[in-house]
Structure 1
Amino acid sequence: MEETGAIDFCALERELQAAIAADEKYQRENDAKFRAVHQKVASYEEFRDIVLASHLKPLEKKDKMGKKKNLLWNSYATQANDKQDREMELAQVRRKTPLVFVYTRKLIQIKGWDGLPETSADFYRYWRRCLKSGQERYQFLFQLGGKDLGRIFQADVGFGLLGEFLVVLAEHACREDREAVLQILQSLSGTKRFGLNVALLSQVEKDSCRDLFGKLQRMGRNCGADGLPEGTVEAGTAALQEEQNEAERETHLRGAGQRKEADDRLIKELVKCYCVS
C-alpha cells in the first residue's frame, strides 16, 4: 500500500509468482524424495542428487533430432582449423582451471592457481581431473593436512572419497609422515556422516584401512625411547651427553614417552572409529 491508499499490483503479482514458484519447488522436491525412497538408493548422496535434480526434464526426440547435421565437403581442409580451435579452447580452460601441477616432496604448486581448494566441490574436481597417480594424490593430501581437510569436508566426505583416501595413505605413508597421517585420519573421523562412509567401504578399502593402521603401529614400535627412529638414537646420544645434563635428558625422555603414549591412545581411538578388526 502506498500513502494514497492505492494498491501496488506489480508487487502483489511478484509475491504471488514467488509463492507459486516456491510451492511448485516444494511439491517437485517432495515427489523426488518419495521416488528416491521407493528406488531404495544406496547412499545419502544419491538421495540428495535425485532431489537436487528434480527440476530437470528428460530430452525429447525433437530436442535431439531437431537440427540436421551438415556434412563437410572437404574434411581434410578443415582439420587444421579444428585443431587450432581445440587448442584455443584448451588454453582458455587452463587459464580458468588449474590443470597442471608441479610436484615436490612436501609441496604441490598449482600453475595458474593461487591457492588450494576451498570447498569439497573444488577438491573433488582436482582429485578426479588433475591427480592421476597415487603418489600425486598422497602429496596433495599431505600438503592440505588434517586441519584443512577437516574444514573442507566439515559437512560430509563425498561418497567413495574416504575409501580412496585410505588406499592412498596405506600405499604411500612413511615413517616421517606418521604424525601428519594420524592428523588426517583424526580430522576425517570428525566429519558428519563419517560412520555411514565407513559402513559403505568396499572390502578392498577395508583391507587398505587395516594395512594402514598396522603400518602406523609398526612405525610407532620401531621408534626409540625419545621418539626417533632407532638408527638415530645412538648417533644422537653423544651430542646429548655433551650439550645437556642428566636432568635435561630425563625431562626430554619423559616428554617423549608422554607423546608416544598419546599417539598410542590416538591410534586406539581411531581403530575404533574406522572399525578396524
Structure 2
Amino acid sequence: MSTQKPRSHDEDSLNFDKLEKELHAAVDADKRYWRENDAKFRAVGQKVETYEEFQDIVKASHLKPLEKGDNLNNIVFDQPWNSHAIKMKNAAPLKSTGSDLQQANNLPKNGQEFARDWRRHHKTVESQYDYLLKIGGPRLGEIFKTEISFGLLGDILTALCQGFSNSDSSAVLAVVHGLTSANRFSLSVQFLSSKEKQVCSDLFHKLKSSNENQTEADGKHIQDQLNELEKIYQLKSK
C-alpha cells in the first residue's frame, strides 16, 4: 500500500502574484525589443553619421515627445550632443543685434515656445526675420539645445535668406552659427528639401558677398567661419 501523503491545498495552488510579475516582465521585455528594433531601422533610414549617434537613438527609444507645459529650464545637459558646436566653441564670439531684448520676458525659453510664437505671431518674412535677430544667435543656440522641430530649420533659413540685409550680416551669421548647437543638427539638415537646401546655399552666398567689404584680417576670420559652417550645413564635403 502506498504511503504517499496527500498534497496540501497550498502545494496545489498557484502563486498568481509571482506569475503576474513574470508575465509583466516578459511583456515589458518584448515591448523593449520591438521598440529598440524600430529605433534601429529609423536610425539606419536617417543615415546617421556615426555609430555613437546610432546608439543614442536606440538608447532614447523609450523617451516620449515633450508635452505642452513641460519645462526644461532646470535640466542640465552634460552630453556633448554636437561635435561641430564643440569644434567651433573656441572661435571668436560673433556680433549680434538686439542684445538688450534678449532678456525680455516675452522671448521664448525653449524650442516649444519658439515654434508656438513663430507660427502664431510671425507669419511674414519680415516679422520672422526681425524675430530671429531680436533673439540672437547665442540665445537660439540655447533654445534649440535639445532639437529643432521637424520642418522649422527650413523656415528659419528661408526667412534669413529672403529678409537678408548687408547691415545685418554679423547678426545673421550669429544665428546661422547658433543653430548648429542643436542636438543632432546634421539630421535636421538632411531633412531639408531640395528647395530649402538651395535657399541655404543662397544665404551663404549673401553672407560671403557681404564679407567682401571687411578688412583683410576680419574678412579672413569670417571666411574661415563660413567655410566651416558650410561643411556643417552639408554644402561642402568635409
Q: Does 1:52 align with 2:64?
A: yes
Q: SS in structure 1 opposite 2:136?
A: helix
What residue identity is the alignment partner of 1:147?
P
Tell me how far apart the structure 1 counterparts of residues 133 and 110 of structure 2 sit (CA, whole Å).
Answer: 17
Query: For residues 106 and 275 of structure 1, do their structure 2 counterparts lie closer, same or farther at Cα, with a shift above 3 Å needed?
Result: same
Tell me how far apart the structure 2 counterparts of residues 115 and 50 of structure 1 sit (CA, whole Å).
Answer: 33
The structure whose residues are more often helix, as a share, is 1
Query: For residues 50 and 179 of structure 1, do their structure 2 counterparts lie closer, same or farther at Cα, with a shift above 3 Å needed?
Result: same
Q: Which residue of 1 aligns with 2:232?
A: 273
Q: Does 1:134 align with 2:125?
A: yes
User: Offset of 1:115 from its aligned partner?
Assistant: 2.7
Moved >4 Å (runs of 4+): 22-29, 34-44, 47-51
Deviations 1:231-277 (A, max 9, x none): xxxxxxxxxxxxxxxxxxxxxxxxx4322211111111111111115
TM-score (norm 1): 0.52
Task: State the structure with bigger RCO (CA 8 A, min sep 6), 1 or 2.
Answer: 2
The within-5 A match list for 1:99-138 is: 114-138=105-129
Unpaired runs of 5+ residues, structure 1, are: 1-18, 54-104, 228-255
Contact 2:138 2:175 in 1 (8 A): yes
Q: Which residue of 1 aligns with 2:218?
A: 259
What residue identity is the alignment partner of 2:195?
V
Query: For residues 39 and 220 of structure 1, do their structure 2 counterparts lie closer, same or farther at Cα, with a shift above 3 Å needed?
Result: closer
TM-score (norm 2): 0.59
What residue identity is the alignment partner of 2:117?
Y
Tell me how far apart the structure 2 counterparts of residues 156 and 25 of structure 1 sit (CA, whole Å).
Answer: 31
Structure whose alpha-carbon radius of gyration is higher: 1
Tell me how far apart the structure 2 counterparts of residues 51 and 34 of structure 1 sit (CA, whole Å).
Answer: 11
Q: SS in structure 2 opposite 1:52?
A: coil
Contact 1:149 1:188 in 2 (8 A): yes
Query: For residues 128 and 122 of structure 1, do their structure 2 counterparts lie closer, same or farther at Cα, with a shift above 3 Å needed?
Result: same
Q: Which residue of 2 aligns with 1:177?
A: 168
User: Offset of 1:176 from its aligned partner?
Assistant: 0.7
Contact 2:158 2:196 in 1 (8 A): yes
Tell me how far apart the structure 1 counterparts of residues 143 and 157 of structure 2 sit (CA, whole Å).
Answer: 17
What residue identity is the alignment partner of 2:226?
I
Tell me how far apart the structure 2 counterparts of residues 202 and 116 of structure 1 sit (CA, whole Å).
Answer: 29
Q: Does 1:202 align with 2:161?
A: no
Q: Does 1:216 align with 2:207?
A: yes
Pairs aligned (count): 170
Over the aligned positions, Cα root-mean-square deviation in angstroms equals 3.6
User: Offset of 1:26 from its aligned partner?
Assistant: 5.7
Identical aligned pairs, as a percentage?
Answer: 27
User: Offset of 1:142 from its aligned partner?
Assistant: 0.6
Q: Which residue of 1 aligns with 2:147?
A: 156
Unpaired runs of 5+ residues, structure 2, are: 1-20, 47-53, 66-96
Query: For residues 257 and 125 of structure 1, do their structure 2 counterparts lie closer, same or farther at Cα, with a shift above 3 Å needed?
Result: same
Q: SS in structure 1 opposite 2:216?
A: helix
What residue identity is the alignment partner of 1:141?
L
Contact 1:32 1:50 in 2 (8 A): no
Tell me how far apart the structure 2 counterparts of residues 50 and 148 of structure 1 sit (CA, whole Å).
Answer: 29
User: Offset of 1:171 from its aligned partner?
Assistant: 0.6
Q: Which residue of 2 aligns with 1:33?
A: 35
Q: Which residue of 1 aligns with 2:180?
A: 189
Contact 1:189 1:273 in 2 (8 A): yes
Contact 1:106 1:142 in 2 (8 A): yes
Deviations 1:72-111 (A, max 9, x none): xxxxxxxxxxxxxxxxxxxxxxxxxxxxxxxxx969x9xx
What residue identity is the alignment partner of 2:138?
K
